[in-house]
Structure 1
Amino acid sequence: MRVDELPLTLGPYPRGAANAITDVAGVRVGHATIAEGDLRTGVTAVVPDVLGPTRRSLPAGLSVGNGFGKLIGATQIDELGAIETPVLLTSTLSAFRVADALVGHVLSWSGYEDVTTLNPVVGETNDGFLSDVRARAVTADHVGRALDTACAGPVEEGCVGAGTGTIALGYKGGIGTSSRVVAVAGADATVGALVQSNFGGVLTVAGVPMPADKMLGQAGVESPGNSCMIVVATDASVDARQLGRVARRAVFAMARVGASFSHGSGDYALAFSMTDGPPPDDAILDPLFGATMDAVEEALLNSLLMATTTYGTAGRIARAVPTDVVRQRLLTAGVLDA
């Protein structure tokens, strides 16, 4: 179940209609999942529809919590404060094939016939605990499927796409999403987050620890701390510098769910805006910052709560969070909604 089905409210801001990154108008999400033999992997695409021949880039900001990762396209985002392509998430050793396929996909767009430089944006986490990561199983066909099937509305979560083989906080991790509606400069704005969770620590829900060894009655999966990718979208008219500030808050939200921020964890947040307008004064951005942290916190929790127990390569297993035990602990702590 999702966080809102527990039911649990995180923060003061209302959720969007689908409680997903797709609540930001013009943002779509698609997945391609590989679950066969020794493979538990895939690719997830976040697609801003506005990108195209009449608008080649969107303002974007990046925050690197810990740089042990392979975020392709990071230096140009840092330099120019913009993204030029959809944002794709995948497995560590497949990231380079995915980037090449993404370049081919965008170059095929009408109006791109004369393009000679392009910055693909591809993030990753290492799903090698459950999947044969060396097989580099994600192909151009999978990338095309994720992009071509991307849609608005509710987003599939848990063991899907780039989250098929991930583990987090001692449990099965995956893809999660959430959104908030907040007032910025006197107008309603939506901020949505999508995460690929694959990091270590002790799961914490609304301040209540949920250690895997106690929750499962046995030792949980000891996550090696292999990263987290966070994508934040908004329709607030914030500029690239301000989006960098938003992205930093997204990384901060990992601490709320118990992240250990270990040596080997590549923790990244990318934030982009669908709106190109005059930016507001920084002094009024606190609600946007708060809504971002709430949305990312909930997306991270959804990525675990929506995942299912998964068997992988070499007989390994990552067990799902027992949601009935989570609910009971939250009831005992008095934090569940009436």
Structure 2
Amino acid sequence: MSPAATGRPGLRALGVVVGALPTGRDNAITDVAGVRVGHTTLHEGERLHTGVTAVVPDALGAGPGQRRSLPCGLFVGNGYGKLVGATQLEQLGAIETPVLLTSTLSAFRAADALVTHVLAWPGYEDVRTLNPVVGETNDGYLSDIRSRPITETHVLAALDGATSGPVAQGCVGAGAGTSALGYKGGIGSSSRRVDVAGTTRTVGALVQSNFSGTLTVRGVPLPAVDLLGTESISSAGPRADQIDAVPKGSGPAEGNSCMIVVATDAPLDARRLERVARRAVFAMGRVGSDFAHVSGDYGLAFTTAGHDEALVPDDALDPLFGATTDAVEEALLASVFTATTTVGHRGTRYGLPHERAVRRLREAGVLAGS
């Protein structure tokens, strides 16, 4: 859910600003023209907290000015994951479909539904091969992952409902049941505007955070063991006055993974986009990831730029790298700051307590205006 939907203020409303570059209008991946995002969210009691998030580039598809593929780069920080379509993406440097994110054991059903969606596009009647791209993280602590609840209907709803403009964040879509850095994780998004070789370009990022480590905001550690108490909580779940408490024996974090999707309108080929995707994964270190053995950390970067635009030279990429790292860092932080406490299938994950976090950040002098 977005900050407005949850009642939780966003990162910048709390005074946390990452980097000096300006954001796009909505500070989201959708600030890249022609990129839309859709979510389908399943919250069913304590049993299910899962969903689908779709990143849809309008340049793909049939019709005037549309293409069958877009240049794309992939960087695998750690391959403990199930990124459907990864080998062809890596070999050919292109995506042929929208990008879906979901739960680990639902990735394969989501891929089949994505194929159904794309084969139905006008002009695709004779298509005999297609490479669906579906990423995942493991939400099995908060959601009954073995039930594999994601259906074709859920996937098509996320794709068909994708819109431009503000992106809902936190416990929504593929982030409904995730955990990150000791707290409830989720979906986060951010963007940057930057001068690249004399032209203003936009870089946008969307993340599905579900990884371990110590939350770090602008260099300040915010360990869950410090910010969350150890008061017991009834099995019925937390009351409003217990929102920051952690039940005894709530269980270790698991399903340590992160999916990062970067979009840009800068003209880049697959090799350059792989370098951008590499910086996206590097940004996880800024927010405190421990890059654990069981973490599937993937960065995927695509461009919507036209074929006729001259490629950005290698020696002009530094501003784009910086914009990418800042946008991903903010998206990762936003995924935690906007997430809310969730009582789930096997335990509870607690939202970051804003007041305690802001107090520490203010004392460290890292908040805007402090």
Shared fold (TM-score, shorter chain, > 0.5): yes
Larger radius of gyration: 2
Partner of 2:275 in structure 1?
A: 245
Partner of 1:41 in structure 2?
A: 50
* TM-score, length of structure 2 as denominator length: 0.90
| Structure 2: segments with no counterpart, 5+ residues | 1-8, 231-245
Partner of 2:19 in structure 1?
A: 11
Partner of 1:224 in structure 2?
A: 254
Partner of 2:327 in structure 1?
A: 295
Aligned to 1:283, what secondary structure does the other structure show?
helix
How far off is 1:222 after superposition?
A: 3.0
Cα distance 1:221–1:298, how it changes in 2: closer, same or farther (>3 A)?
farther
Q: Which has the larger displacement, 4-13 or 73-82?
A: 4-13
Aligned to 1:254, what secondary structure does the other structure show?
helix
Match of 2:195, as an amino acid? A
Say whether 1:197 aligns with 2:215. Answer: no
CA distance in 1, matches of 2:58, 2:120: 15
Partner of 2:234 in structure 1?
A: none
CA distance in 2, matches of 1:8, 1:35: 29
How far off is 1:8 after superposition?
A: 2.0
CA distance in 2, matches of 1:250, 1:144: 28
CA RMSD of aligned residues (A): 1.0
Q: Which has the larger displacement, 103-112 or 224-233?
A: 224-233
- The answer to whether the 8 A contact 2:72-2:95 is kept is yes
Cα distance 1:221–1:157, how it changes in 2: closer, same or farther (>3 A)?
farther
Partner of 2:162 in structure 1?
A: 150
Partner of 2:302 in structure 1?
A: 272
How far off is 1:326 after superposition?
A: 1.2
How far off is 1:225 after superposition?
A: 4.9
- The answer to whether the 8 A contact 1:16-1:23 is kept is yes
Q: Superposed, which structure 2 residues align to 1:252-271 within 5 Å? A: 252-271=282-301
Write out the 4+ residue segments of structure 1 that deviate beyond 6 Å after TM superposition: none
Match of 2:81, as an amino acid? G
Matched length: 337
Identity of aligned pairs, percent?
66
- The answer to whether the 8 A contact 2:266-2:312 is kept is no
CA distance in 1, matches of 2:127, 2:297: 32
Say whether 1:335 aligns with 2:362. Answer: no
CA distance in 2, matches of 1:199, 1:324: 23
CA distance in 1, matches of 2:12, 2:126: 47
CA distance in 2, matches of 1:216, 1:152: 36
Q: Superposed, which structure 2 residues align to 1:65-76 within 5 Å? A: 65-76=77-88
How far off is 1:44 after superposition?
A: 0.2
How far off is 1:221 after superposition?
A: 5.9
| 1:106-146 superposed Cα distances (whole Å, 9 cap, x missing partner) | 00011111111100000000000000100000000000110
Partner of 2:340 in structure 1?
A: 308
- The answer to whether the 8 A contact 2:192-2:202 is kept is yes
Aligned to 1:89, what secondary structure does the other structure show?
strand
CA distance in 1, matches of 2:20, 2:176: 32
Partner of 2:175 in structure 1?
A: 163
Partner of 2:152 in structure 1?
A: 140
Cα distance 1:240–1:51, how it changes in 2: closer, same or farther (>3 A)?
same
Say whether 1:235 aligns with 2:250. Answer: no
- The answer to whether the 8 A contact 1:225-1:261 is kept is no
CA distance in 2, matches of 1:169, 1:223: 8
How far off is 1:217 after superposition?
A: 1.9
